[in-house]
Every structure is written in C-alpha cells, then in structure tokens.
Amino acid sequence: MNIKYFFSLLIGTTSSLFIFASTAHAAIMSLDPVSYSAPVGQTFTVKLTIDTEGEYVDHADAVLLYNSSILQVVSVVEGDNGQNPFLPDFFYNNSPDELYIGASLLDMLEPKIGQGILATITFKGNAEGIANVTFDCTPGKTSDTNIGKTDKNVTDLVECARLVPGTYTIGGGPTATPPIGVPVATATPMPIPTTGSADVTTAVLGMGVILVLLAGTGKILLKI
C-alpha cells in the first residue's frame, strides 16, 4: 500500500471519529409551548422538557431570562405539574428577570436517559407586550444552562444553539370595527325646552292669538 495513501486514510478516519464524537455528545432543553397568547391577568403553564439524545445524565440546570414587567412567575413545580419528574431532586430560585431551575438524581447509581419533563412553570401576564423567555447558555460555561453527563468528568452535554426558547404575547387583542361603507348610526339628542322659559311663554301666547282670530273669522262667515 502506498504510504501516503495510508496516512491520508488514517487522518481522514481519525477526523471523522472526532467529528462524530463532537456531535454525538449533545443534549437539549425546550419550552413547551414555544408560543402562547393570553389576556392581562390570566395564568398559563409552560413545561421545561429535556432530551438527552441517547446520553446518560444525572443533573440539569436551566437559567431562564424573561421580562418581569410583562410576565410574572406564579409557581414552579417538578415534572408534569408535580408528576413523573425526569430528575426528582428538584429546586428553583426566582429573581427579577431570571428563573433558575435545577434538578438531579436521588440515586446516582441510576442515571437517566431519554426524554422527560423537568418542571412546569406557571406564568401570569402582568401587562400588554411580547415577552421572550430565553435560555442563558454559553458553550463551555458551567454557571448557566447545563446538562451533566454521568461520567467522572461531569461533562456538560448541553448544545446551546439547539435550545428551544418561548415567546408569549400578553393582551393586545383585536378591536371590533364597523365594515367599510356601512355608516355608523349616532343618536342626536332632542333639545328639551326649559319649563317657564320666555320662549315657551311666547309660543303659548302666539297660539292663543291665532285661535282667537280663527274663532272670530268663523263667526263672520256664519253671519254672511
């Protein structure tokens, strides 16, 4: 075999293995639903889901950024409204514009793999506007959103570019308008004369004079 061809083949195979390794070790989190519209004052729930994509994990951390002038965090519970948490050792901390959710295993000898729900968040719309709920995630950073692989290095599996944030619209519903070309009827109030006013008195006297004249004219015609 040609020595140059052998080394080229070896380098290509090694590169392919590195590329496969870099893409295989990944895990993501998503918000469900990714969009929702609600009136001001109404609550709605959003689920934080996880997909380990074939990797075994033992903990996960999510740092969610949001606009607290539009959205209010009412409650955060583990799993699907308190049921079937993917990682049962659950905790969270909410501060203005930032919600931290953490979850881990109770028994480190039983790592988790697959898909599940980490937490259910209940939001409330405080004011009209569009609120984006995003993941604070920087590749290689360990103090933001992370998914920990079950290994001695506690490898961070999260792939920041594939995290699925949410966009939630509060208020701003459509206003009803009349069809084009259809006139809008408006009520015009009739003037009500004031009792005892000079105009009313003058009108009454004028009618009296007319009646007297008509009666006199009638008598003259009868005599003729």
The domain made up of 26-170 has a fold known as: Immunoglobulin-like (2.60.40)
Predicted TM-score of the model (pTM)? 0.67
In this predicted model, what pLDDT tens digit does every residue of 51-82 receive, in sequence order? 999 999 999 999 999 999 999 999 999 999 99
Q: What is the mean pLDDT of residues 106-130?
A: 93
Assigned token pair, 39: 């009136």
Residue 14 has pLDDT above 80, yes or no: no
- In the prediction, which pLDDT does 25 show? 62
- In the prediction, which pLDDT does 16 show? 41
In this predicted model, what pLDDT tens digit does every residue of 16-28 receive, in sequence order? 433 333 445 689 9
In this predicted model, what pLDDT tens digit does every residue of 28-42 receive, in sequence order? 999 999 999 999 999
In this predicted model, what pLDDT tens digit does every residue of 133-186 receive, in sequence order? 999 999 989 899 999 999 888 899 999 999 999 999 999 654 333 444 434 334
